[in-house]
Structure 1
Amino acid sequence: MRTTDKEGVRSHCAVNYGVEIFGDRWSLLIVRDIVFTGKKTYGEFLKSEEGIATNVLASRLAFLETQGILARAPNPDDKRKDFYTLTEKGLDLIPILLNIVLWSTKHDSKSYMRQHKEFAARLNRSPLEVTEEMKSLVRKGGCFFPEGEQ
C-alpha cells in the first residue's frame, strides 16, 4: 500500500480512508465471498470465478487481517488450514456491499442478483433491516447463497 503519512493513509478524507482499506477489487471480493457464499479458507477464496492470483490473495488476506476486517483462526479439524471470518469492523462493510448489489442490479442487465428480485426489492424497501439480518447471519457462520446457488 502506498502511503504518505505515518498512520498509513494518504489523507484523512473519509472516502480516501475507505478506498485505502477496502477499496481495491480483491478485498471487496473476499468480503463478498464470506458474506454471500460462506467461503472461509484460502483454497475456497482461490476458487472464485474472478481468478485471483495466489500471491495477491495471500497479500489481501494478510492486509485485511492487519486492518481488523478479518480474523484468522486455525481450522479445528485440519490445523494446516485457517478459517477467515469477518470481525465487527468487517461486518460493517455489509451495507456497502448491499448498496453495490443494488447499484449493479440496476445497471448490469446480466447481474446474478436479477434472479433474486424479491431480495432486491426487500433491500430497496428496508435496507437497515436487511443489513442487520445479513450481519446476524454471517456472525453465525451463515451466508446469503446456499452452496453454489448464485
Structure 2
Amino acid sequence: VFDLGGGTFDVAIMSAKEGRLSVVDHCGDNYLGGKDFDWKIVENIIHPVLIKEYNLPNLGRSEEYQMLNAVLKNAAEEAKIELSVRDEASIIVHPREIIKDRDGRVIDIVIPIKRNQFELLIKKYIEKAINLFEQVLKKQGLSPNDINQLILVGGSTR
C-alpha cells in the first residue's frame, strides 16, 4: 500500500493468506504529503509572479501575508488537482475577499503551470517516498518484483 495523502505518506507491505490480510511491515513520513506540493507551487511559481507584478515586499509565509497565502494555497491545490488529469493548468488567484497590495491594487491574476514544471518541483518528495518504499522492501528482504499488487491511496497518488 502506497498512501500519499494531504499531509502524510505511509507505505505498508501486506500479506494475504487464507483470505486474511496482515501487515508485514510499514513506515512513513508525517511531514510528506500533498500540502507540501501545494506550498512548492506557492513559493516557486506564484510568489515570484506576484512579487514581479505587485507591491508585496517580503512576500513569504509571514503572518503579514497569512490571508493571501491561504488564498494562494487553495489556488495551488486546485491547479495541482487539474494537473493530475491534464498537462497544463491555470493557477487562478481571484480571492472572494478583496486582497490588495501595498499600492492598493487588487490581487487578481491567472498564472499558467505545466505538469512537467510541477513534477520538477515535487521531485525530491517523490524520490523520498520511493526511497521509503524501497527501505521497507529491503528490510524484509524483498525487491519490487516480489510485489504482486500495488495499491495507491490518497489524492496525491493521482
Larger Cα-atom Rg: 2
TM-score for both structures, normalised by structure 2: 0.23
Q: TM-score, normalised by structure 1?
A: 0.23
Quick check: which one's strand share is greater? 2
